[in-house]
Amino acid sequence: MNIETVAIMGAGAVGSYFITGLIPKLGDHLMVIAEGERKERLTKEGIIVNHENWKLNVKTPEEARGADLLLIATKYGALKESLPAVEKIVDDHTVVMSLLNGVDSEEIIGERIGKQHMVYSMMKIASERDGNSIVYDPSVTQGVFFGEAERKRSERVEAIAALFEGTDIRYTICSDIIRDIWFKYALNVSKNLPQAVLNCSFAGYSASEHVAFISQKLRDEVVAVAAAKGIDISDEDNTLGKNSAISGAARFSTLQDLDAKRHTEIDMFSGAMIRMGQELGIPTPYNEYTYHAIKALEEKNDGLFF
């Protein structure tokens, strides 16, 4: 199996990492998916990544049908509304990777197009977005982790690795990608969310016993839900469950969204935790509080109250 054409949905921080990593290798065989005004804008303006402007080959879903690989890097809140476009791109041989955070995007997509298309993946990237400009730090960006849910090193996994080889995209083939995704999910819930509620930097986790307490309680709830699903992420020393060596001043994606008065992806984090906890009969009080606190901050940003 050879991957010769790649379509990318989502040109934000994660999507841009793959756009800039693959254009030098694929040229116009790398397609960015957009329609209407957004297609016109991206075609005209391109994207700015690490202060360099990149021109894009922008295609509609219909024009990209039959791509060998589809990379989905939309926001979680836009995932379900993007599914009709995904259906238009995917044919029988298309491999699909969801690059979203969280633990349920592969299930959401697979239910629509067939789970046989899915190769599971996750991202570890240190990035910030300011309008149309995206900056990521290559020195601490670990890139994409991927593998088969069945824990086998398949032909298509090898083909994806061959695609990334020789590019600036860092990648790791995982022997247990489902567990690794849950490690990353626990990291996001426990480190992304408290600082968003408290409006503090990453340094708060080591400087304050109270920030550390909240972080630990949030992680404990994720560990309990994962265990009920037969997934052991109790090892707090696992490298996938830890942040890279980053600045103490770092502000993660949820706080970045609030800073920019954008809606966050809290539904993907604590929202999903609450739902799974209810389904499994596991209390998630810290995630429930965090969910409503961040939703309230979104409403405040929207001008609902002051």
- In the chain, where does the domain assigned CATH 1.10.1040.10 lie? 179-301
| Range list of H helices, 114-165 | 155-164
Q: Which CATH architecture has domain 179-301?
A: Orthogonal Bundle (1.10)
What Cα–Cα distance (Å) separates residue 193 from each residue in 15, 139, 201, 298? 22, 24, 11, 13
pLDDT tens across 22-65, in order?
999 999 999 999 999 999 999 999 999 999 999 999 999 999 99
CA triplet 255, 173, 236: central angle to 5 degrees? Answer: 50
- In the chain, where does the domain assigned CATH 3.40.50.720 lie? 6-175
Residue type, 215: S
Alpha carbon 165 to chain centroid distance?
Answer: 21
pLDDT tens across 71-92, in order?
999 999 999 999 999 999 999 9
3-state DSSP percent of the chain in helix, strand and coil, to 5 = 50, 15, 35
Taking the C-alpha atoms of residue 147 and residue 163, their distance in angstroms, rounded to an integer, is: 14
pLDDT at 194 over 90: yes
Give the bridge partners for 13, in sequence order: none
Where does the pLDDT of residue 243 fall: very low under 50, low under 70, confident under 90, or very high at 90 and above? low
Residue type, 72: I
Taking the C-alpha atoms of residue 97 and residue 3, their distance in angstroms, rounded to an integer, is: 13
Question: Is the CB of residue 233 less than 8 Å from the CB of residue 241?
Answer: yes
pLDDT at 216 over 70: yes
pLDDT tens across 98-134, in order?
999 899 999 999 999 999 999 999 999 888 777 678 9
Instruction: Give the pTM.
Output: 0.91
Q: What Rg do the C-alpha atoms of the chain give, in angstroms?
A: 19
Mean model confidence pLDDT for the chain:
94
The mean pLDDT value for 4-10 works out to 97
Q: Which CATH architecture has domain 6-175?
A: 3-Layer(aba) Sandwich (3.40)
Structure tokens at 126: 């240190």
